Amino acid sequence: MPSGPDRRLPSDRLLTVLTCPLCASVLIRADGALRCAGRHTFDVARQGYVSLLTGHRRAASADSADMVRCRASFLRSGHYDPLADALAELATELAPPDATVLDAGAGTGHYLAAVLDALPGAMGLGLDSSAHALRAAARAHPRGRPPAGTSGSRGPCAPAAPTSC
């Protein structure tokens, strides 16, 4: 993943469904970060995710690096492939091919990647409170980046977001 100004920023499509978790304003790209009209700024990590956690706190129940590594290994072994396949099939029945797909609690991005594979024109947005999980999810699928971490009562999706979000 490139660093500095070449870091991958959210696509215009994903920015249409993201809002500032502090004031609900629209987020725009600005100098390797996302910024709102209220001047709240959220940096894009070099791994390709944007943390929308507010304040100087960590999520209390966020997964550790070891937990994410173990989960990724378990999922790669195929134990939950029938679930991933069912989600992908359901997505093709219910979502338009160019949907914006939201995975709340995205973890490693395993299920979001399966859905995006089934919807070739779709974009994915993964939310998780664990930076370790977001790093894994940022690599799970090219159209699923960048996932965003969030906490609190105000989520990062716009109220008028498409029904697939």
pLDDT at res. 60: 63
All domains of the chain, ordered by start, with CATH? Answer: 4-149 (3.40.50.150)
pLDDT at res. 7: 43
pLDDT at res. 61: 67
pLDDT at res. 165: 38
pLDDT at res. 149: 56
pLDDT at res. 163: 47
pLDDT at res. 2: 40
Long-range CB contacts for residues 61-65, cutoff 8 Å, separation at least 24: 61/129, 62/128, 62/129, 62/130, 62/131, 62/132, 62/133, 63/107, 63/128, 63/130, 63/132, 63/133, 64/130, 64/132, 65/132
pLDDT at res. 137: 87
pLDDT per residue over 24-55, tens digit each? 899 988 888 899 999 999 888 887 788 887 77
pLDDT at res. 21: 87
Residues of the chain predicted below pLDDT 50 = 1-7, 151-153, 160-165
